[in-house]
């Protein structure tokens, strides 16, 4: 069965077509995405403004048409933090359905964390024992820990790299004072969730998912994505601290010149690195493995588990 998974995130509208079967690894057949920074198309009241909504609707329609061309048997469209937190979320969903023929399901933050954890567990297997997973998106940070396929604890915080960049940084490069203030804010937001997660005991494996973690790992020496998903990639706390000291003094244009940093995310990688550093510190993590599977794969695996016809 061919599934089309449409992910409306905080940075991109992303359609992945996969061939799926019970008991088998989902096989990607096509991958299409376009940049749409939803945090930048909010008005002063937190609404997705009309111009931004028209772009979102246009991309959703293109994704639906592409899924039909690819002969997808089913499309699974979902949206995450940026649409979830928009003041006019209900209007946005109705508008996209009416004009693009796509009804987006808005995942809760806890569902994001839970589904991402499912993907990580399937990737590493039962032998990994207790896993802690961190996922930094454009709008939110998801944290989870557990020994089974469903995490013991799952949290979602409004600590996404794009959101924090938009709300905290007003210069390029960001001012040192703003960086220090943001560090304090992130630490305060993480305090209670991290305490709760530590109560479950230490993890045998700490994992980072998302484009932000892949970029940070690449900047600290991990293999490029072109080497494939089965190469082990790591991110260490000392390496991350050194990286922050380096990239926080650079402009977004200069960061975009670094290998592994895309131009459409170069402005938010500093905030993403600060979130990663704070989360690792709060949870006592010195090293993380980078998992190639994340939320989209979790959505696919959940659909397979429900049974394919």
Domains of the chain: 2-106 (3.30.420.40), 124-295 (3.30.420.150)
Tens digit of pLDDT at every position of the chain (309 positions): 999 999 999 889 999 999 999 888 999 999 999 999 877 788 888 899 999 999 999 999 999 999 999 999 999 999 999 899 999 999 999 999 999 999 999 999 999 999 999 999 999 999 999 999 999 999 999 999 999 999 999 999 999 999 999 999 999 999 999 999 999 999 999 999 999 999 999 999 999 999 999 999 999 999 999 999 999 999 999 999 999 999 999 999 999 999 999 888 999 999 999 999 999 999 999 999 999 999 999 999 999 998 865
Q: Is 236 exposed, middle or buried (0-12, 13-18, 19+ CB in 10 A)?
A: middle
- Token duo for residue 90: 């209900």
Q: Using an 8 Å Cβ cutoff, are 2 and 17 in contact? A: yes
Asked whether the CA dihedral 299, 301, 303, 308 is positive or negative, the reply is positive
Match 């994992």 to its residue by tokens. 207
Give residue 44's pLDDT: 80
Find the length of the chain.
Answer: 309
Q: In what order do the strands lie in the sheet with 131-136?
A: 153-157, 141-146, 131-136, 205-209, 287-290, 234-236
What is the SS3 assignment for 61?
Answer: helix
A 10 A CB-CB count for 70 gives: 15
What is the SS3 assignment for 268?
Answer: coil
- Whole-angstrom CA distances from 47 to 88, 139, 297, 308 are 5, 15, 29, 37
Give residue 307's pLDDT: 80
- Token duo for residue 263: 């131009």
- Whole-angstrom CA distances from 294 to 1, 40, 56, 268 are 21, 24, 23, 20
Q: In what order do the strands lie in the sheet with 74-79?
A: 27-35, 12-19, 2-8, 74-79, 105-106
State the Cα–Cα distance between residues 152 and 150, nearest whole angstrom.
7
Model-level pTM? 0.95
- Token duo for residue 86: 């928009």
| One-character DSSP codes across 221-265 | TPPPGGG-TTS--EEEHHHHHHHHHHHTTS-HHHHTTSTT--TTT
């Amino acid at each position: 069965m061919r599934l089309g998974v449409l992910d409306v995130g905080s940075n991109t509208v992303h359609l992945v077509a996969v061939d799926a079967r019970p008991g088998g690894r989902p096989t990607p057949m096509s991958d299409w995405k376009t940049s749409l920074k939803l945090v930048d198309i909010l008005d002063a009241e937190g609404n997705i403004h009309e111009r931004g909504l028209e772009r979102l609707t246009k991309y959703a329609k293109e994704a639906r048409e592409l899924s039909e061309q690819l002969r997808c048997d089913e499309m699974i469209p979902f949206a995450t933090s940026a649409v979830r937190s928009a003041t006019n979320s209900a209007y946005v969903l109705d508008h996209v359905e009416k004009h693009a023929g796509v009804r987006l399901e808005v995942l809760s933050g806890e569902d994001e964390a839970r589904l991402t954890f499912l993907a990580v567990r399937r990737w590493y297997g039962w032998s990994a024992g207790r896993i802690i997973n961190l996922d930094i998106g454009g709008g939110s940070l998801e944290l989870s820990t557990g020994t089974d396929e469903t995490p013991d604890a799952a949290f979602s915080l409004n600590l996404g790299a794009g959101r924090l960049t938009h709300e905290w940084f007003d210069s390029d490069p960001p001012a040192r004072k703003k960086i220090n203030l943001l560090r304090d804010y992130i630490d305060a937001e993480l305090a209670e969730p991290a305490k709760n997660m530590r109560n479950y005991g230490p993890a045998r494996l700490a994992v980072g998912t998302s484009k932000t973690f892949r970029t940070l790992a690449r900047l600290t020496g991990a293999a490029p994505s072109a080497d494939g998903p089965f190469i082990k990639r790591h991110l260490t706390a000392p390496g991350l601290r050194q990286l922050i000291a380096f990239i926080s003094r650079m402009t977004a244009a200069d960061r975009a010149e670094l290998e592994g940093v895309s131009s459409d995310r170069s402005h938010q990688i500093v905030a993403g690195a600060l979130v990663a550093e704070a989360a690792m510190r709060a949870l006592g993590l010195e090293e993380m493995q980078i998992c190639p599977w994340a939320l989209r794969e979790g959505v696919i695996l959940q659909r397979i588990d429900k049974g394919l016809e």
